[in-house]
Amino acid sequence: MISLVLVGCGSIAKLAHLPALAQLRADGLVEIAGVCDANASAARAAAEQFDIPRSGSDWARMVRETGATAVSICVPPGPNVQLAIDALAMGLHVMTEKPPARSEVQAARMADAARAHPECVTMVAFNRRHAPLYTRAIDASRRLGAPHAFHGRFTRAALGGEPSNTAADWITSDGAHVLDLALATMGYPERIAVARHRSGAGPDNVWSLQLHGATGASVLVFDFAAGRRVERFEWSGPGYDVVLELPHRAEWSQRGADVEEWRASQLTGTEDFFLDYGFVDEYRRFVDAIAGRAQRPETSFAYGWSFMHLVDEILACRDGESRELAPPRAEVAGRSVATRGAEDVAAERGSGTVVEHALDAMGALEPGRRPVVCVLQDGSAQARYFNGALLARVTERCEWRTRGSGIDDADAIITGWGGAPLTREVLERAAHLELVIVIGASVKNVAPEYLLERGVAVCNTADAIGASVAEHCLLLMLAGLRRVTDVDRAMHRTGWPPNDQRLLSIKTLRRTVERVPPLRAMKPVLRPAARRILAKRNGGAGAGSQWSDLRGQVVALIGWGHVARHVAALLRPFDCELLVCSDSVSAAELARVGARRVQLGEALGSAKVVSLHKGLTERTRGMLGAAELALLQPGAVLVNTARGALVDEAALIARLGRGDIVAALDVYHEEPLRRGHALRRLPNTILTPHNASTTPQCQRRVGAQALEILLNWLSGHAVSRIDTERLVAMT
C-alpha cells in the first residue's frame, strides 16, 4: 500500500482529491498519512471531514514522521514548483495539480529535478484524460484509426471577471484541461494560431486557438463570459464521430450504425463528480506506476515542461498571429537545461534539435547566468506602461534591474519614453548587450547606427503607438470635414449657427460687385480682402467647400507605416476610395486593404482628405511645398500627425490664407507652438499639442509590446528588429 501526504487543503482538494483518495483508501490501495496546509485550521478541518489521522502545516516533517513515500500537491501554480522540487529531493513520488507551474522556465526546473531522480514517479494532474467517458471513446476511436479533427470548448459564466488567477495565465483555469485533452487526442502541434476578444469589462476573456499537427487540426474555444459552464469535446476519424459532454454524457457514432448514447453512470455505477471526471482513475494510475503495475504516466514532469512551452507560446501570440513550433523536447542528450553552456547551445541550435527558447530563458549563454535586463524608466513610468501579470512572466526569466543600477553588464535595455538617452560612449561599456527596446517610435536617442553596426537588435513599439495615432487621425479627418471647431466656436459665440450651410460665399460677393460699377473697377483690390473676410466669417469653409461626410470620399495616405496601416483599417467601414503614395507597400498589401498606389501629385489633387505618414529625412523634409499644396482641391482636409517639417510651414500658411482648405495638425516645426504663431490665428486650422498617442490605453499597449518583444527574445525567437534600410527612412 502506498502511503501519501496531501499538501494543500483548498476547495479543489476537498471537492475532488480527498474524495478520490478516500475511494482508493477503501479499495486498499492508498494510506492517507496526513494532510497539510499553510492554514493549520484548514488542514485540521479536512482531516476531520475525511477521517485522516494527522494534520499540520509542515509537510516535510509529516513525511519524515509517517514514512510516507508520495505527496499530492494541491496548491496554485507557481508555489507548487519549489514544493515539487523539494519533495523529489527527499526521494518522494510527486503528483501536482495542473498546470505544473506558471511558466516554462518553472516547468523546466521541475523537469530537471525529476530527471535527477529517475527512481521517482512524477505526474501532472490532468484528470479529464482519465475520465471514464473519454478513455472509452478514445480507445474505441483508435481501434478504427487515429482521429483527424478535434474541437474543444470550455465556457463559464464570468462576464467581466478574471478567467483565472490573472488575465495573463488564463490557461491555469479549466482551460488547461481542454488544451491537454487536445494533446492527448491529436498529439503535439507543429503550428498554432490565436485569436482573442473581450466581452464586458476586464481582460480578454474569449479565446480561440488553432493547433495544427501531423495528424490533423484542433480548434479550441475558451469563453469566460458565457451564460453557463460547459465542457464539450468533439473529434472524428475514419468512419466515426464522438461528442463528449463531461462529466456525464457522450455520443458515439459509427458508419452504418445507430448513434449510441453513453453515460458515465453506466461505467462507474454512480454519478459522483470525482469519479466521473476521472480523479479516481488518475490517482489509480499514479499509484499503479509507483507499485510497478503500470507504465509511468504520460503527464510526467517532462510532459509538464512541453505543456508549459506550448502555453507560453500561446500567451506570447498576439491577436490574429500564428507561429511555427519547435518539437517538444524535455530532454537534450540527457542533460539539464539549467547547467548547459554556450557551446552546447550553439551546437544544438545548429542541428535544430532543441527548443531554443527554453535554453535562453534559463540563461544558457553562460552556465548559471540569467539574462540581465535594465529598464531606464522610473517607477511611475513603469507603473503606467507595464501590466503586472505580464511583467511577472518577464521577471521570472531574467534579472530585472531598474533605473540607476547601471547597464555595463546588461543583456537587454528598455528605454524610450521616460527613459534616458544612450550615447555610443555609454553603450560601448555594455559588452553583453544584445537587445535595445525603445518605448516609442523614434530610436534616434539610442545611437542606432552604432548598435546596428555592432549587431545589437534595436526594436521600438511603433505598432502599439500606431493604433492610438490612427484614432487621432480619424478624429481630425472627421473634425475637418464637418468643421467641428468652427461650429463649436459659433455655438459659443452666437448661440445657434445656420444648419442649412447657406454661408456667405465669394459667388454672392461677385454678383454684388458686378451690379455696382465703382466696385467692378476695384476687383483686383477687393478679391484678396474678400477672401480674408470670408475665411474669418465662415470659419475657413471657403467657396464650394461645405460640411462633408467621410463616407465614400477619396482619402490619400502619404507614406505606409504602422499608423497608415491602422488608419486604413479604421477607414474600412466608411467605404472610402483609398490612395497610397509609397514605394514600400507591396501590391499584395494594397490589394488586402483595397487601396491603389498613386504618385504624390495624384494623391494631392484627387483626395478630399490627405493624411501624412512619412518619417522625416533629408529627402522628405519640406516635401509639401507651395507647388504641392496648390494641388489640394477646395474643401480638402490636410492631416499631419507625422512630422511638422514634412510641410513647408510658410507655404502652408499661405495656402491656408486662401480659406478653402483645412489643416488638422498635431505636429509642428517647433514645439511647443509659440503664442501668436500664424497657425494659431488662422480659423481653418485644427490644432492639437502633439498628443495623438498620450492616452492611458496607448501607454499600456506600448508597455505590453515592449514586454512581448522581450519575452520573445528571452524565448529565443526572432524579434522584429529595425534594419539599416528602415532606419534611413525613420525620423
DSSP notation for 469-525 = HHHHHHHHHHHHHHTHHHHHHHHHHHS---SS-----HHHHHHHHHHSHHHHHTHHH
Give the per-residue pLDDT at 219.
Answer: 97
Handedness of CA 151, 156, 162, 164 (dihedral sign): negative
**Active-site hit among 323, 597, 690, 726:** 690
- Which H helix or E strand runs over 400? strand 399-401
Give the per-residue pLDDT at 731.
Answer: 60
pLDDT band at 273 (very low <50, low <70, confident <90, very high): low
Per the CB < 8 A criterion, the answer to whether 396 and 102 are in contact is yes
Per the CB < 8 A criterion, the answer to whether 731 and 645 are in contact is no
Per the CB < 8 A criterion, the answer to whether 731 and 643 are in contact is yes
pLDDT tens, position by position, 70-94: 999 998 887 889 999 999 999 999 9
If you average pLDDT over every residue of the chain, what do you get?
A: 85
Q: Which of 509, 731, 539, 495 is nearest to 619 (CA)?
A: 731
Give the per-residue pLDDT at 336.
Answer: 35
Q: Is 399 helix (H, G, I), strand (E, B) or coil?
A: strand
Q: Where are the beta strands (DSSP E) in 137-185?
A: 149-155
Model confidence at 139: pLDDT above 90: yes
- State the residue for C-alpha cell 461677385: 510
**Active-site hit among 671, 674, 680, 681:** 671
Bridge partner residues of 436 (DSSP): 413, 458
What is Dmax (Cα atoms) for the chain?
A: 119
Give the per-residue pLDDT at 238.
Answer: 95
Give the per-residue pLDDT at 668.
Answer: 97
The region of weakest confidence among 171-175, 252-256, 357-361, 471-475 is: 357-361
Give the per-residue pLDDT at 46.
Answer: 95
Give the per-residue pLDDT at 223.
Answer: 85
pLDDT band at 122 (very low <50, low <70, confident <90, very high): very high
Give the per-residue pLDDT at 503.
Answer: 45
Give the per-residue pLDDT at 332.
Answer: 33
pLDDT band at 170 (very low <50, low <70, confident <90, very high): low
What percent of the chain is predicted at pLDDT more than 90?
58
Distance, CA of 303 to chain centre: 25
- Which H helix or E strand runs over 288? helix 279-291
Q: Is 186 helix (H, G, I), strand (E, B) or coil?
A: helix
Per the omega criterion (within 30 degrees of 0), is the bond before 247 cis?
yes
Contacts 24+ apart (CB under 8 A), 644-649: 644/668, 644/669, 644/670, 644/671, 645/616, 645/621, 645/669, 646/612, 646/614, 646/616, 646/620, 646/621, 646/622, 647/612, 647/622, 647/623, 648/622, 648/624, 649/679
Backbone torsion region of residue 470, taken as left when φ is above 0, otherwise alpha when ψ lies between -120 and 50, otherwise beta: alpha
Torsion of CA 316, 321, 324, 330, to 10 degrees: 20
Establish how many alpha carbons lie within 13 A of residue 442's alpha carbon, considering only the half-sphere containing its beta carbon.
Answer: 13
CB atoms inside a 10 Å sphere around CB 183 = 23
Our answer to whether residue 143 is catalytic in this structure is no
What percent of the chain is predicted at pLDDT more than 70?
84
Q: How far apart are CA 410 and CA 430, in angstroms?
A: 6
Give the per-residue pLDDT at 133.
Answer: 93
For residues 602-619, one letter each, b for 16 or more C-beta atoms within 10 angstroms of the residue's C-beta and e for the rest, the string is ebbbbbbbbbbbbbbeee
Q: Which residue has the higher pLDDT, 601 or 397?
A: 601
Q: Which residue has the higher pLDDT, 60 or 326?
A: 60
Burial class (CB in 10 A: 0-12, 13-18, 19+), 595: buried
Give the per-residue pLDDT at 367.
Answer: 43
pLDDT band at 517 (very low <50, low <70, confident <90, very high): confident
Per the omega criterion (within 30 degrees of 0), is the bond before 79 cis?
no
Q: How far apart are CA 562 and CA 638, in angstroms?
A: 19
Model confidence at 449: pLDDT above 90: yes
Give the per-residue pLDDT at 175.
Answer: 81
What one-character DSSP code corresponds to residue 17? Answer: I
Give the per-residue pLDDT at 30.
Answer: 95
Q: How far apart are CA 534 and CA 106, in angstroms?
A: 71
Q: How far apart are CA 233 and CA 228, in angstroms?
A: 16
Model confidence at 525: pLDDT above 80: no
- State the residue for C-alpha cell 507557481: 78
Average pLDDT over residues 500-520: 60
Bridge partner residues of 70 (DSSP): 4, 93
Model confidence at 218: pLDDT above 80: yes
| Helix, strand, coil percentages in the chain from 3-state DSSP, rounded to 5 | 40, 20, 40
Per the omega criterion (within 30 degrees of 0), is the bond before 528 cis?
no
For residues 324-352, one letter each, b for 16 or more C-beta atoms within 10 angstroms of the residue's C-beta and e for the rest, the string is ebbebbbebeeebbbebeeebbeebeeee
Give the per-residue pLDDT at 509.
Answer: 60
Model confidence at 495: pLDDT above 50: yes
Per the CB < 8 A criterion, the answer to whether 727 and 448 are in contact is yes
Model confidence at 167: pLDDT above 80: no
- Which H helix or E strand runs over 712? helix 696-714
Q: Which three cell numbers stand for residue 417?
A: 519614453
Average pLDDT over residues 498-523: 61
Average pLDDT over residues 146-175: 70
Model confidence at 134: pLDDT above 70: yes
**Active-site hit among 136, 643, 655, 658:** 643
CB atoms inside a 10 Å sphere around CB 678 = 14
Model confidence at 545: pLDDT above 80: no
Our answer to whether residue 690 is catalytic in this structure is yes
pLDDT band at 338 (very low <50, low <70, confident <90, very high): very low
Q: Which three cell numbers stand for residue 582?
A: 509609397
Give the per-residue pLDDT at 123.
Answer: 97
The region of weakest confidence among 182-191, 355-364, 719-728 is: 355-364
Backbone torsion region of residue 241, taken as left when φ is above 0, otherwise alpha when ψ lies between -120 and 50, otherwise beta: beta
pLDDT band at 664 (very low <50, low <70, confident <90, very high): very high
Average pLDDT over residues 699-709: 91
